[in-house]
Amino acid sequence: MDAAVLQLLNGLDKGGAYALIALGLTLIFGTLGVVNFAHGALFMIGGFCAVTTQKLLTLSKSVKDESVTFFDSYTKIPYLKLWWGETGERIIDYSVPLSILLAIPVMLLIGVAIERGLIRHFYRRTHADQILVTFGLAIVLQEIVKASFGANPIPMPAPAVVAGSAAVGSWIGLSDAVSYPWWRLVYFFFSVAVISAVFAFLRFTTFGMVVRAGMRDRETVGLFGIDIERRFTIVFGIAVVVAGLAGAMYTPILSPDYHMGMEFLVLSFVVVVVGGMGSLGGAVAAGFLLGILQSFASMNEVKSLIPGIDQIIIYLVAVAILLVRPRGLMGRAGVMET
């Protein structure tokens, strides 16, 4: 029972990341009709926004170390600490959450630039061409990150306040031994918050209404004299920001390296297909569903029954669902069916 609760939490966590990436992918499918294989790379870039924030916050000055008297020794002390002492140190500690401040404008800029410069010219091309060009873009982005940050994973600590584990067990009347890292709980609630924000934006704003109408029937919306192209650019930007935020906040769980996006890309495509192309709700539901299934499959009890199931459960489920429900769990007719 205890183990099951833990795996459920693990699954919610992983599912949160899958759902966020898949949400962005589906937004792009649904509105622009473009298959974006660079989405995993954008998730990765979000992770490196956090790395950059940390680098910026810890910009240091060499200061002579007075405690060493025998010879001259220098230590590097971050400017923030020099200026503000304790407060500065605390700010550095919060580099991962603070990285959101950097990630939002940067990812928005990247998203708009990609849409204007590249994706725009691929609306009328085949899906194969879209896959290929975005696959190329993903490789380029990866290599640029590798050249500037190196190939090794960069550990990113969560803020000290949430460094430990939460005694989740005692909250819900299980044994105290059931504990779960605080940051993962934070990530789960963060993903729920971002998903809710995106849904609220699409549901309750005029902009969102137009976008939803455009997802249904782009031409008719255009006939009303609405500049749907410009709105779609913004939608692409939002999708990229969502991916970037998912990546930035995920860094304390998975140290970012240049190919972290590729693994998530394949999985989130499977998530999108299982949820149903063009269905935002489906993407989120399938994200959490597959995340939970995957973490339950990695329990030792299950693994001893069916060895290797944890590695392939997601793909098995995807194949099964596609064969039984060709449009995925909540797919709409006519999206990406040619």
Partner 1 sequence: MSARFEPGDVARKDNLLLMGFAAAVLTMPLWMQPFGAAYPDLLQRFAIFGIFAIGFNILFGLTGYLSFGHAAFLGVGSYTAVWAFKLLTVNVLPAIVFAMLVSGLFALAIGFVSLRRSGIYFSILTLAFAQMCYNLAYSVLTPITNGETSLQITRTDPRVLDTWISGASALIPATNLFGLEMKGYPGFYFCAALLIGAFYVAMRISRSPFGTMLRAIKSNQNRLNYTGVHTRPYALAAFVISGVYAGLAGGLLACTDPLAGAERMQWTASGEVVLMTILGGVGTLLGPFLGAVIIKFLENIFSAFNDQTLHSAFGFLPDGLENVVVQVTGLFVGEGWHLTLGALFMLLVIFLPGGVMEGVRRVGGLLQGLKAAPRAGVRRATPADSAASGE
Task: Give the C-alpha separation, 55 to 269, whole Å.
Answer: 32
Q: Tell me the CB-side half-sphere exposure of residue 328, using CA atoms within 13 A.
A: 30
The one segment of 67-75, 174-182, 245-253, 307-315 that binds partner 1 by CB under 8 A: 307-315
| H helices, E strands: number in the chain | 15, 4
Taking CB under 8 A as the rule, does residue 212 contact partner 1? no
Other Cβ atoms closer than 10 A to 204: 10
Binder among 186, 202, 277, 297 for partner 1 (CB under 8 A): 277
What kind and span of H or E run contains 231?
helix 228-250
What kind and span of H or E run contains 244?
helix 228-250
Taking CB under 8 A as the rule, does residue 316 contact partner 1? yes
The one segment of 14-22, 144-152, 221-229, 282-290 that binds partner 1 by CB under 8 A: 144-152
Q: From the CB of 335, what's the least distance to partner 1, in Å?
A: 10
Per DSSP, which regions of the chain are E strands? Answer: 60-64, 74-78, 165-166, 180-181
Taking CB under 8 A as the rule, does residue 213 contact partner 1? no
Q: From the CB of 158, what's the least distance to partner 1, in Å?
A: 29
Interface positions, 256-275, toward partner 1 (CB under 8 A): 262, 266, 269-270, 273
Q: From the CB of 162, what's the least distance to partner 1, in Å?
A: 32
- Going by the DSSP 8-state scheme, the letter that residue 69 receives in this structure is -
Is residue 231 within 8 A of residue 211, CB to CB? The reply is yes
317-325: Cβ within 8 A, 24+ apart: 317/274, 317/290, 317/293, 318/270, 318/273, 318/274, 321/274, 322/273, 322/274
Q: From the CB of 221, what's the least distance to partner 1, in Å?
A: 24
HEC secondary structure over 262-296: HHHHHHHHHHHHHHCCCCHHHHHHHHHHHHHHHHH
Q: Which is nearer to partner 1, 121 or 203 (CB)?
A: 121
Q: Which is nearer to partner 1, 144 or 226 (CB)?
A: 144
Q: From the CB of 236, what's the least distance to partner 1, in Å?
A: 17
CA 157 to chain centre: 18
- Going by the DSSP 8-state scheme, the letter that residue 202 receives in this structure is H
Binder among 234, 312, 329, 332 for partner 1 (CB under 8 A): 312
Q: Which is nearer to partner 1, 37 or 188 (CB)?
A: 37
If we measure between CA atoms, which residue out of 47, 60, 245, 49 comes closest to residue 153? Answer: 47
Q: Which is nearer to partner 1, 173 or 307 (CB)?
A: 307
Total residues interacting with partner 1, rule: CB under 8 A:
43
Interface positions, 161-180, toward partner 1 (CB under 8 A): none
Binder among 146, 212, 231, 332 for partner 1 (CB under 8 A): 146
Taking CB under 8 A as the rule, does residue 324 contact partner 1? no
Question: Residue 187 corresponds to which tokens in the numbers above?
Answer: 């990530």
Taking CB under 8 A as the rule, does residue 143 contact partner 1? yes
Q: From the CB of 48, what's the least distance to partner 1, in Å?
A: 16
Taking CB under 8 A as the rule, does residue 206 contact partner 1? no
Task: Give the C-alpha separation, 189 to 273, whole Å.
Answer: 25
Q: Which is nearer to partner 1, 12 or 119 (CB)?
A: 119
Angle between the N-to-C axes of helices 309-324 and 280-297, in degrees from 0 to 180, rounded to the nearest 10: 140
Q: From the CB of 41, what's the least distance to partner 1, in Å?
A: 10
Phi, psi of 225 (to 5 degrees): 85, 20
Interface positions, 103-142, toward partner 1 (CB under 8 A): 118, 121, 125-129, 131-133, 135-140, 142
- Going by the DSSP 8-state scheme, the letter that residue 331 receives in this structure is P
List contacts with partner 1 (CB under 8 A).
35, 118, 121, 125-129, 131-133, 135-140, 142-144, 146-147, 262, 266, 269-270, 273, 277, 307-308, 311-312, 314-316, 318-319, 322-323, 326, 336-338
